[in-house]
A and B are shown apart, each in its own frame.
Chain A
Amino acid sequence: MQIVVNGSAENVPDPALTIAELLQRSGVESPEMVSVQLNGEFVDRQDYGNKSVTDGDEVDFLYFMGGGRA
């Protein structure tokens, strides 16, 4: 299936990939600080292990820091 991770299209072979597995697979830096959005909606940290992505989903890993204009 194809999903969009942080704005980039990715092919994911596993049809039942959880958010926790996706975090690990994507090599996300400082995962304890990241905020996950699935199709624009916040995903609670306690749901990372039981919420799976499906074909066409958009996943964003966002940090409070770093964003913005300078």
Chain B
Amino acid sequence: MTAFATKAIHGALLKPEAHGSLRPPVYDSVAFEFADSHQIQLAFEGRKPAHAYSRITNPTVDEFEQRVRILADALGVIAVSSGMAAISNVIMALAETGANIVTTRWIFGNTYSLFEETFRPWGLETRYVDMEDEKAVAAAIDGKTRVVFLEVITNPQLQVADIDAITEVAHAHGVPVVLDGTVTTPYLFRSRDHGVDVEVISSTKYISGGATSMGGLILDNGLFDWKRNPKLEPYAKKFGPGALLAGLRREVYRNAGACQSAHNAYLQTLGLETLSLRIGKSTANTLALAQWLEKQAKVKSVDYPGLASSIYAKRAAQFFPRGAGGILTLDVASREQCYAFQDALKLVRRATNINDNKSLILHPASTIFCEFDEAQKQSMGVRDTMLRLSVGIEEVEDLIEDLERGLAAL
């Protein structure tokens, strides 16, 4: 059993199901009982592999985590309540007051807000660099750097950094790389094969099966020696390569209460089973639409890493042989034209999510980046003339017909 789709469907049923159910049940229970006092003591001491309380572990969530672990060949996986919970939990596990993070200047707006508005007041500094410039990354790292954080494809700038080069620079300085792989998932990008130490994913997106539920994932690829991280050193002494997973499960994840619900884990396990089919359709649609939009006179420019005209085409082909994801951006003449275009659409929905089954459109400058001033937006690569299109799994002819409607309104 080696193919992604096969593993996604058959996964790892951890224990035989009592009634032989082919679909593992939803263990929608807060607490689990024990046969005697000694057994519950062992469970609380971590000396028995048992579920005690669903904020810490739950059988349905465990099933989801194990399936993702198998798909990504990761050392271990922890499912959390959202993609932002995945990022915040990992950073809290690895960094402390007085330390710093090095990341891309084109970071996702909510992640920027987390780093600046939530973590900075606690004394954790974030240093923003151009991930295209490995020398700048190296120069930003010092003895207090705990993480180099990047996104596999930035949203909405669609930059594809040279992930191999970044991991090499970070590791040369003894710093782990955490990568947000939301828009690719382990189906399109195998982070472990590129030296990424930890992958975080918003499973709300592609994995949930069509925006069914909120969720996040933390994947430890088992590549980094956690003894080199001051916060994890005590855990590394006790748990070796499992230090980050232990540090999360026994401290940050447990204490921050970012657990995924059993119901959401069930929905996301269902989504996982059809992930390859849906991403295949979504990425094929995205490429077709990007190629079509490039030929339209009213469209000033189209960005999609899978386009031959993209400055990232070669890198995208190298990193994402199955396709460069389901997001493209297009620029028209003005903000007014952006609004007219998206208001004329009847099939594509105006909404802020990405990687849904439905195609979604958004004007990033006036929505997810509305809290930033013009200078900040410019430095973050967010243009007032840009629309972000997250392409779903509809038939591409129907999507083109809708986009024609949008262009006719300009």
Is residue A44 contacting chain B, with contact meaning CB distance below 8 A?
yes
Is residue A33 contacting chain B, with contact meaning CB distance below 8 A?
yes
Of chain B, the residue at the smallest CB distance from A34 is B49
What residues of B have a CB within 8 angstroms of the CB of A42 in the complex? 236-240
What residues of A have a CB within 8 angstroms of the CB of B109 in the complex? none
Size of chain A's interface in residues, with CB distance under 8 A?
24
Residues of chain A from 22 to 54 with CB closer than 8 A to chain B in the complex: 29-30, 33-35, 37, 40-44
Is residue A66 contacting chain B, with contact meaning CB distance below 8 A?
yes
Size of chain B's interface in residues, with CB distance under 8 A?
29
Please tell me if the beta carbons of B249 and A35 are within 8 angstroms of each other in the complex: no
B interface residue numbers (CB < 8 A to A):
31, 42-53, 55-57, 62, 76, 236-240, 242, 245-246, 249-250, 254
What residues of A have a CB within 8 angstroms of the CB of B245 in the complex? 64
CB within 8 Å for A70 and B240 given contacts A29-B49, A65-B249? no
CB-defined A-B contacts under 8 Å, sample of 29 = A6-B42, A7-B45, A7-B47, A29-B49, A34-B49, A35-B239, A35-B246, A41-B237, A41-B238, A43-B240, A44-B240, A62-B47, A64-B46, A64-B249, A64-B250, A65-B46, A65-B62, A65-B249, A66-B48, A66-B50, A66-B56, A66-B57, A67-B249, A67-B250, A68-B46, A68-B53, A68-B56, A70-B53, A70-B56
The interface residues of chain A, by DSSP majority, are classed as loop
A20 to B254, CA, bound (A): 31
Interface centre among B47, B238, B254 (most CB of A within 10 A): B47
Of chain A, the residue at the smallest CB distance from B239 is A35
CB within 8 Å for A64 and B76 given contacts A33-B49, A42-B238? yes
A interface residue numbers (CB < 8 A to B):
6-7, 29-30, 33-35, 37, 40-44, 60-70
A41 to B46, CA, bound (A): 16
What residues of B have a CB within 8 angstroms of the CB of A65 in the complex? 46, 49-51, 56-57, 62, 249
